[in-house]
Amino acid sequence: MSSDRAATPQQHRRHGQHQQQQGTNAQMHVHRNDPRMLHDDHERQQHLHHMTPSRRTVLSSSPSPSPSPSSGLPTFLGHPSKVLPPLLVLLTCIKLLLLPSSVYRSTDFDVHRNWLAITKQLPLSEWYFDDVQGGTVHTLDYPPGFAFFEYLWSHSPLTSLLLPTDDRCLELLPDNDNTPSDACVLFQRLTVIISDVILWMGAYACCHAMHPTQTPIAVVSFLLIVFNPALLWLDHVHFQYNGMLLGILLASMACLIMGNNVCNTSTWAYNIYHLAGAALFALLLNLKHLYLALAPLYFCYLLERYCLTSTDAYGVTTKRFLFGKFFVLALVTGITLVLPWIPFVLVDTNYPQRQLLQILSRLFPFGRGLVHDYWAANLWAVYTFTNKVLRFAVTKLPMPVAAYVQDWYLPEPSPLICAILLFLSIVPGMQVASARLSNVKLVEAVVYVSFCSFMLSYHVHEKAILTTLIPLTLLVGPGGHRYEIHNILFWHTTVWGLLGLFPLLYRPVELSLKLFSYVGYLGLAAELLQTPPKWTYEIEFSTFATVAAVIVLLEFVPVWGKWEFLPLMVTSIACAFGLLGCWGMSLRLLITEERKHLGSPNS
């Protein structure tokens, strides 16, 4: 006998009522749960995964109300296997063209050369105690992880291959006698080029994780990351390792994003991805403490997404703390974070805190003041400028009035005040990180918190804007309202952020490199992203008029005497006001409601 014939009338009636109730609920929530309302294909696919097969088929086959975001992309953007190899060759050739010793050599080049010498010539116990060693001011002031990174290069086979036996590249030299040889320049430049492999790997993983079903969009983000001229200026001309550090940040974000992508298919993969993301971020902190402001965001995110489980019953959501998973997360993160510090503690067993205190004093040199010699384009640049205007105005007042208001000036914020303001400002980012929202919201939170760090941290360098600009590139793409807003934010942050880096390359020989790469990159972004939109043309006209005026004053107008600081100050203040607007826009994007929520393997 069939099951239908065996069923009682009461069972049929209950089954019909259940189906009717399901239909009513589906109608009530069709707009809220319709995956066609989600702003990218990846989120749509994730949402379809939770639906019944019949509803999934209907919605998957129905036409989308808006054109595909990738429909307007240039035709040359194909599969990464065809695009990336020639791109790698092209970028490597550009970097190799900057190898000759005649190219600009900054103080940072001498800094890293001296750090190589320190890790080569001195015992571990003296790495952070070399204040007067060799008559140099280029002391080691990065975390222990980066010190061991320098150690690996100073003891690598590349040194014996490229450096003659009598070369002084890895010797402790005084600042007045440290001119590098051509072999030394080649060696150091190659270390940066080789380290850029980490940037490529992290960027590719993160772009693919953000757009797993939209390869052209992923390629666009990847192109805009690796072609960013700031990386060329800072790493391959000015000489730093920003690309490597940002690559690790992107790899960490990629792990979290990929964990979210598999949250409903594989609990094991979900856990591994989140642990890997936490470990990579801990490694990043050991390489550069600039990223410390992101630590509260990571903590809130991992606590919610990895250590808490939520269950929905009768319309009530309850959460339960998983102590075992928290212990595993703390163990993995703690080992990664503490491991590079252990040798410095063991080397001085009688007074281990001596090494730790010395390292911390190097990492946080609060005696250097609120702002750098060249003000980073942040809130403190505007604050310092306002203070100088007030003091100048006082000197122009009549004597009785001037004597009365001569002490009216803005006090310099202490490091503690800056830390408090920074923590308060990142609370929205921490709140979003604690919600189970989409991958887009996670990246928006990283962008916003990085912006806060750049704007409010004590003694910020202008290069820190890259910590905001590179993650922001993950959000861009042609088509769609959400993409358009992200594109506008990316466009203006790029315009002002890159302009603020112009003073780093101050020699006339670098002018053509700066201008061509700056304009070329903006043109590439405009072509790939179809931005800025027409309705912003009036704003763009005033923006580029200001940019042109700043470049002319900075690069072409000779200023001497007591006004020689004017071009740098104008550049800093103009970029600061532009980036302040971008900061506000990033906050608005962050707190904008989004319907899409991510699940959890524990839910």
Distance CA 222, CA 202 (A): 10
- pLDDT tens figures, 368-404: 899 988 899 999 999 999 998 888 887 777 766 655 5
Note down the domain range covering 47.
3-61
311 DSSP 8-state letter = E
267, 291 contact by CB (below 8 A): no
Does residue 154 sit in the same domain as residue 233? yes
- pLDDT tens figures, 431-471: 999 887 789 999 999 999 999 999 999 999 999 999 999 99
Does residue 139 sit in the same domain as residue 20? no
pLDDT at residue 49, rounded to an integer: 43
pLDDT at residue 31, rounded to an integer: 39
Question: For residue 432, which of 590, 554, 587, 578 has the smallest C-alpha distance?
Answer: 590
pLDDT at residue 592, rounded to an integer: 84
| Tokens standing for residue 213 | 């079903």
Does residue 394 belong to any structural domain of this protein? no
Q: What are the Cα distances from residue 289, in Å, to 32, 141, 145, 180, 409?
A: 42, 10, 10, 29, 32
- pLDDT tens figures, 72-121: 455 555 566 677 788 888 888 989 888 774 455 788 999 999 999 999 99
Distance CA 243, CA 232 (A): 9
pLDDT at residue 480, rounded to an integer: 64
541 DSSP 8-state letter = H
Please give the tally of structural domains in the chain. 2
Does residue 56 sit in the same domain as residue 146? no
Does residue 36 sit in the same domain as residue 142? no
Q: Which helix (H) or strand (E) holds 313?
A: strand 308-313
Does residue 194 sit in the same domain as residue 57? no
Lowest pLDDT segment from 49-63, 111-125, 363-377: 49-63
- pLDDT tens figures, 198-245: 999 999 999 999 998 888 888 899 999 999 999 999 999 999 999 999
Does residue 84 sit in the same domain as residue 57? no
Q: Which helix (H) or strand (E) holds 319?
A: strand 316-321
Q: What are phi and psi of 213, to 5 degrees?
A: -105, 5
Mean pLDDT value across the chain? 83
| Tokens standing for residue 307 | 């250590």
Q: What are the Cα distances from residue 300, in Å, to 47, 240, 278?
A: 24, 31, 12
411 DSSP 8-state letter = P
Does residue 546 sit in the same domain as residue 484? yes
With b for 16 or more beta-carbon neighbours within 10 A and e for fewer, the 260-280 pattern comes to bbbbbeeeeebbebbbbbbbb
| Tokens standing for residue 488 | 């506008």
- pLDDT tens figures, 546-590: 999 999 999 999 888 888 889 999 999 999 999 999 999 999 999
Does residue 37 sit in the same domain as residue 123? no
Does residue 68 belong to any structural domain of this protein? no
Does residue 510 belong to any structural domain of this protein? yes
Average pLDDT over residues 511-538: 90
- pLDDT tens figures, 262-311: 887 888 999 999 999 999 999 999 999 999 999 999 999 999 999 987 66
Does residue 431 sit in the same domain as residue 533? yes
408: pLDDT strictly greater than 80: no
pLDDT at residue 477, rounded to an integer: 87
> Which residues make Cβ contacts (< 8 Å) with residue 444, sequence separation at least 6?
432, 475, 586, 589, 590
Does residue 278 sit in the same domain as residue 325? yes
Does residue 198 sit in the same domain as residue 299? yes
Does residue 398 belong to any structural domain of this protein? no
Question: For residue 51, which of 14, 21, 19, 26 has the smallest C-alpha distance?
Answer: 26
Does residue 309 belong to any structural domain of this protein? yes
Does residue 93 sit in the same domain as residue 7? no
